[in-house]
């Protein structure tokens, strides 16, 4: 989700259970969560929805490493994985819209933001990304395009503040974009740009860094098409920071295949082993 799904989003992981689940246990549980989510009329935040996503995140983050290949190779999991990711995307959208409204209506908004239980996770992911950007760029970043900013653009706000850079947000969902702009204004970031555009039609040639949110492109082929377009249109030397996922985290977010980075010079990849879900892939255009 634009936010990084973590154990802290809906609850804490219980690591005290001495029984290690098998691949069959995990496969059965993921299937059960999927069916419960799919059966709901909507995925707006609430105790039942929160509980289902909490369970899913626990499964993803606590599965023993030796079970992961068998789970991902299971025929049922391969069948439901795209649908499960779609449900996660819908749930994230509902969650972000709900909190965008709360923050804008908050008096003052920053106090409401402080109640957002996983703002620290946004910050943790953004710090990781700023760190790898600093290691790859010889000069200060002056301009950032954040593609897929959504209704709660906390990552782009954090990047703007920490990098002291001009940040433009792009999203093809007009309602999400308007919500994001209201949040930015309420929190004192009125200078950020917001542009309704599909990434395949946006002109991103003038930016030092292009950040590609995890939910931009919901299939491997869609990711490949977007990355091919960016390779052809980004300014040579500009840097792409693409959010991806690895292992069972790919049940929550679509991964990026390294072969999709043709036209880029791969720089680094970071795959968190803590409660951050998204990986970060850094590549230079014109490679």
Residue 29: is it exposed, middle or buried by C-beta count within 10 angstroms (0-12/13-18/19+)? Answer: middle
The three-class DSSP label of residue 209 is: strand
The three-class DSSP label of residue 210 is: strand
Residues 2 and 169: beta-carbon distance below 8 Å: no
Where are the chain's structural domains? 23-114, 118-285
pLDDT given at position 150: 96
- Would you place residue 14 in the very low, low, confident or very high pLDDT band (cuts 50, 70, 90)? very low
pLDDT given at position 18: 54
Across the range 202-218, mean pLDDT stands at 95
147 dihedral zone (left: phi>0; alpha: psi -120 to 50; beta): beta
Please give the Cα distance from 135 to 117 (Å, whole number): 30
Structure tokens at 285: 């255009």
Alpha helices in the chain (DSSP H): 7-10, 23-38, 47-62, 68-73, 75-105, 109-115, 119-136, 154-163, 174-186, 220-233
- Is pLDDT at 115 greater than 60 in this prediction? yes
- Is pLDDT at 3 greater than 70 in this prediction? no
Across the range 251-256, mean pLDDT stands at 94
Across the range 63-71, mean pLDDT stands at 96
Q: At how many degrees (to 10) do helices 119-136 and 154-163 cross?
A: 50
Class of domain 118-285: alpha beta
Please give the Cα distance from 25 to 63 (Å, whole number): 10
pLDDT given at position 273: 75
pLDDT given at position 11: 32
Task: Residue 209: name the closest of 139, 278, 272 by CA.
Answer: 139
Please give the Cα distance from 118 to 133 (Å, whole number): 23
pLDDT given at position 5: 36
């Amino acid at each position: 989700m634009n936010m990084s799904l973590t154990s802290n989003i809906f609850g804490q992981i219980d690591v005290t259970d001495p029984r290690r689940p098998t691949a069959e246990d995990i496969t059965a549980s993921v299937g059960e969560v999927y069916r419960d989510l799919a059966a709901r009329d909507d995925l707006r935040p609430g105790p039942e929805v929160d509980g289902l996503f909490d369970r899913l995140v626990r499964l993803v983050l606590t599965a023993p490493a030796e079970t992961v290949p068998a789970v991902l190779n299971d025929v049922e999991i391969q069948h439901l994985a795209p649908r499960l990711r779609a449900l996660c995307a819908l749930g994230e959208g509902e969650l972000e819209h709900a909190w965008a409204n709360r923050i804008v209506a908050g008096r003052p908004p920053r106090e409401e933001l402080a109640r957002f239980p996983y703002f620290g996770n946004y910050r943790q992911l953004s710090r990781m990304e700023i760190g790898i950007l600093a290691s790859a760029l010889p000069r200060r970043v002056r301009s950032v395009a954040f593609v897929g900013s959504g209704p709660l653009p906390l990552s782009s706000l954090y990047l703007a503040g920490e990098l002291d850079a001009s940040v433009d947000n792009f999203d093809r969902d007009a309602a999400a974009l308007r919500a994001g702009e209201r949040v930015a204004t309420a929190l004192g970031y009125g200078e950020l740009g917001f542009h309704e555009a599909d990434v395949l039609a946006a002109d991103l040639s003038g930016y030092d860094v292009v950040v590609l949110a995890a939910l931009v492109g919901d299939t491997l082929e869609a990711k490949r098409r977007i990355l091919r377009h960016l390779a052809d249109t980004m300014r040579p030397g500009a840097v792409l920071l693409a959010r991806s996922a690895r292992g069972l985290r790919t049940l929550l977010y679509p991964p990026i295949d390294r072969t999709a980075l043709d036209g880029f010079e791969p720089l680094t990849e970071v795959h968190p082993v803590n409660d951050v879900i998204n990986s970060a892939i850094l590549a230079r255009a014109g490679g």
